[in-house]
């Protein structure tokens, strides 16, 4: 699947989940899926936990996060200094 096809699996509706990006047709926040992946959960574990979603939905969440990261600056503390990633 291409990046655009993956991103078509994400929806944003101000009347659903406070307008947060969700997996299309579900009330599962993209940020929730990314948090689970960041904590070490595998794609397979996510699919077991949320049987209504597909592998491509999880990949779409990752693609969405990657798109956001291209345009954002994140301050990361390193020791006592802050490093700004561009």
Q: What is the mean pLDDT of the chain?
A: 87
User: Cα 26–19–64 angle (5° rounding)?
Assistant: 70
Domain-wise residue ranges, the chain: 3-85
CA 53 to chain centre: 13
CA torsion angle for 27, 30, 35, 41 (degrees, to 10)? 80
The conformation of residue 26, written as its DSSP 8-state character, comes to S
CA 17 to chain centre: 15
Classify domain 3-85 at the CATH topology level.
Answer: Arc Repressor Mutant, subunit A (1.10.10)
pLDDT of 22 > 80? The answer is yes
- Please provide residue 59's backbone torsions phi and psi, each rounded to the nearest 5 degrees: -60, -35
Q: 81 pLDDT band (50/70/90 cuts)?
A: low
Residue with tokens 């997996």: 23
Q: 35 pLDDT band (50/70/90 cuts)?
A: very high
Segment 48-77, tens digit of pLDDT: 999 999 999 999 999 999 988 887 666 666
């Amino acid at each position: 699947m291409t990046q655009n096809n993956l991103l078509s699996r994400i929806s944003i509706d101000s009347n659903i989940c406070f307008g947060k990006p969700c997996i299309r047709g579900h009330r599962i926040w993209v940020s929730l899926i990314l948090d689970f992946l960041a904590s070490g959960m595998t794609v397979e574990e996510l699919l077991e936990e949320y049987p209504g979603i597909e592998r491509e939905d999880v990949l779409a969440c990752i693609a969405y996060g990657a798109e956001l990261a291209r345009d954002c600056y994140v301050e990361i503390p390193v020791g006592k200094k802050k490093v700004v990633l561009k």
